[in-house]
């Protein structure tokens, strides 16, 4: 069954309206001045290096209003300083979900195919229980203490989506 010309035109009009809406200024008036956001990540009680810390906007500016979602990578002492436009410049005021990804190599192999998330997806966008509200001025995230895990979130017994 082939779609009618009318339904194809309707679909094209919807896509066009959606694209036009992306550039609209009718949305909220965002404060696009980043404010410092700093913190520390601990794994099994010890500072960890190389954890990607990302902020997913809930009611804060998001692309295309900002170049990319705010991110940082932890240093040798587990500390991070979030950046939005430039490394370490902070994040815009608003609410965010904190996501974490710690890519490590299996054994001594360093190629990309042998890397995996040591956090096993417990802190991705679907599972992270971490949230932050950025306010004007200095923002200090309490230490993020991550326990070691050996199973994926989906392997936890219980009701899917309620664990």
Burial class, 93, CB count within 10 angstroms (exposed 0-12 / middle 13-18 / buried 19+): buried
The answer to whether residue 1 sits within a structural domain is no
> Is 14 domain-assigned?
no
* Domain hosting residue 143, numbered range: 37-153
Residue 158 lies in a domain: no
Name the domain count of the chain: 1
CATH number at residue 85: 2.60.40.10
* 21 pLDDT higher than 50: no
Confirm if 148 and 120 have CB atoms less than 8 A apart: no
Mean pLDDT, range 78-87, rounded to an integer: 96
Task: Tell me the C-alpha distance between 114 and 89, whole Å.
Answer: 33
- Residue 161 domain flag: no
Q: Select the more confidently predicted residue: 91 or 158.
A: 91
Entry pTM: 0.74
Measured in whole angstroms, the distance separating CA 13 from the mean position of its chain's CA atoms is 32
């Amino acid at each position: 069954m082939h779609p009618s010309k009318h339904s194809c035109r309707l679909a094209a009009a919807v896509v066009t309206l959606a694209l036009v809406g992306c550039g609209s200024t009718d949305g909220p008036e965002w404060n696009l001045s980043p404010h410092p956001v700093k913190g520390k990540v601990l794994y099994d009680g010890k500072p960890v290096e190389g954890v990607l810390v990302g902020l997913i906007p809930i009611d804060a500016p998001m692309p295309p209003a900002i170049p990319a979602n705010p991110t940082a990578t932890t240093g040798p002492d587990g500390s991070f300083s979030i950046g939005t436009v430039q490394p370490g410049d902070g994040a815009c005021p608003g609410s965010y979900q904190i996501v974490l990804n710690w890519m490590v190599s299996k054994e001594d192999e360093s190629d990309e195919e042998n890397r995996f998330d040591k956090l096993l997806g417990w802190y991705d966008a679907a599972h992270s229980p971490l949230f932050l509200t950025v306010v004007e001025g200095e923002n200090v995230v309490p230490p993020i203490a991550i326990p070691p895990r050996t199973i994926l979130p989906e392997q936890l017994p219980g009701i899917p989506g309620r664990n």
